[in-house]
């Protein structure tokens, strides 16, 4: 009975996001350059997961519209990457937005005694004060409020060291945004900004494993790359960044821009598999850097208060409480 009761709290205490777990990225291919998702040999090929028991494809939806796409690892309980189109930004964090989970990732036949076995949930992030929820698609890169809200799903987040998330990684995100604002345009309408962005995490393979709450993989590295049409050169160009996910409380170093080819070589060294992030395209390097960094944003999770269990309980709707009480009374 106790396990059932706790499971109800865990499941009902979190809002769910209504997205689509699909069989192919072709369902939401608009977020990829030339509508082609990355190829990771033996993992993701021809828009399809090669291992449905570990890797799931999610078309992230909000207000009946797809906002971005995610390739999710249900064993490590973190996304491998999220893909989105950058078309400008709101620059502000949505107010009163709650982190959500994805019910379609769970086994619908498992029963209530198994709570979110295939993904992270809020409670995982209360167990380690050194990490917080790091967006892959950052809300500060969203063009409107509805898209910004859609990024607050735990299928779009990984455990990131707070000092790294709010330090060199945040600085890099702002620089990249400034570069895309200045150098990336829609080839069909050069008045509009457009870049195709992939941001990912490399699962930690250390032994013993580095896990959050003994469940969620704390990634060893973070990476991001964009591809866009550059109006100055009239070419499709790319720029990549990556860094180790580590504590930066004693100091940090700027994350320098690198080439797409260098990033793919780095990922091959981590996965021992070839990765083609833009499927052989966008190989020209965009040599641009926004330095010094812009004024810091307030929309990322820099000082986000981790909610207590009491807060979770208070958030449960009254109808759920009545159902639980009636059930306990028999």
Predicted confidence band of residue 261 (pLDDT cuts 50, 70, 90): very high
- For 57-94, what is each residue's pLDDT tens digit? 999 999 999 999 999 999 999 999 999 999 999 877 88
pLDDT at 18 over 50: yes
User: Could you give the domains of the chain?
Assistant: 2-329 (3.40.570.10)
Q: List, as one string, the DSSP characters of 120-187.
A: --GGGGGS-TTEEEEESS-GGG-SSHHHHHHT-BGGGEEEEEHHHHTTHHHHHHHHHHHHHHHHEEBT
Structure confidence at residue 74 (pLDDT): 97
Query: Of residues 94 and 241, which shows the higher confidence score?
Result: 241
| pLDDT of 132 over the 70 cut | yes
Joined tokens for residue 11 = 């499941």
In this predicted structure, the answer to whether residue 206 has a pLDDT above a threshold of 60 is yes
User: Comparing C-alpha atoms, which of 151, 139, 221 is closest to residue 177?
Assistant: 139
The pLDDT of residue 302 is above 80: no
The arithmetic mean of pLDDT across residues 242-261, rounded, is: 96
Pairwise pLDDT comparison (308 vs 252), residue with the higher score: 252
- How high is the pLDDT of residue 95? 86
Q: Give the per-residue pLDDT at 93.
A: 85
Indicate the range of 92-106, 155-169, 215-229 predicted with least confidence: 92-106
Question: Whole-number mean pLDDT of the chain?
Answer: 86
Dihedral sign for Cα atoms in the order 326, 328, 329, 330 = positive
- HSE-CB for 118 with a 13 A CA cutoff: 18
């Amino acid at each position: 009975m106790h396990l059932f009761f706790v499971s109800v709290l865990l499941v009902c205490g979190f809002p769910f996001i209504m997205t689509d777990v699909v069989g192919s990225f072709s369902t939401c291919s608009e977020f990829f350059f030339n509508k082609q998702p990355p190829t990771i040999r033996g993992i993701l090929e021809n828009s399809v997961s090669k291992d449905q028991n570990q890797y799931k494809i999610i078309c992230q939806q909000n207000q009946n519209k797809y906002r971005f796409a995610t390739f999710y690892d249900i064993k490590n309980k973190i996304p491998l990457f999220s893909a989105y189109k950058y078309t400008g930004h709101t620059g502000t964090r949505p107010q009163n937005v709650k982190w959500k989970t994805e019910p379609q990732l769970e086994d619908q036949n498992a029963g209530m005694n198994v709570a979110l076995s295939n993904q992270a949930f809020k409670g995982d992030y209360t167990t380690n004060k050194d990490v917080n929820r790091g967006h892959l698609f950052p809300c500060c890169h969203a063009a409107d409020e509805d898209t910004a809200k859609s990024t607050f799903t735990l299928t779009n987040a990984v455990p990131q060291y707070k000092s790294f998330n709010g330090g060199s990684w945040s600085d890099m995100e702002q620089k990249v945004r400034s570069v895309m604002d200045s150098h990336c345009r829609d080839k069909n309408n050069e008045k509009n900004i457009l870049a195709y962005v992939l941001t990912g995490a490399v699962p930690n393979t250390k032994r013993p494993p580095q896990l959050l709450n003994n469940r969620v993989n704390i990634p060893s590295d973070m990476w991001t790359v964009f591809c866009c049409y550059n109006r100055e050169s009239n070419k499709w160009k790319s720029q990549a960044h990556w860094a180790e996910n580590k504590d930066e409380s004693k100091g940090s170093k700027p994350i320098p821009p690198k080439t797409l080819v260098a990033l793919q070589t780095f990922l091959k060294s981590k996965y021992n598999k070839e990765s083609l992030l833009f499927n052989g395209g966008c190989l020209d390097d965009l040599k641009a850097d926004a330095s010094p960094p812009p004024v810091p944003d307030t929309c990322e999770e820099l000082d986000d208060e981790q909610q207590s269990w009491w807060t979770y309980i208070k958030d449960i709707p009254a109808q759920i409480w009545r159902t639980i009480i009636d059930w306990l009374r028999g």
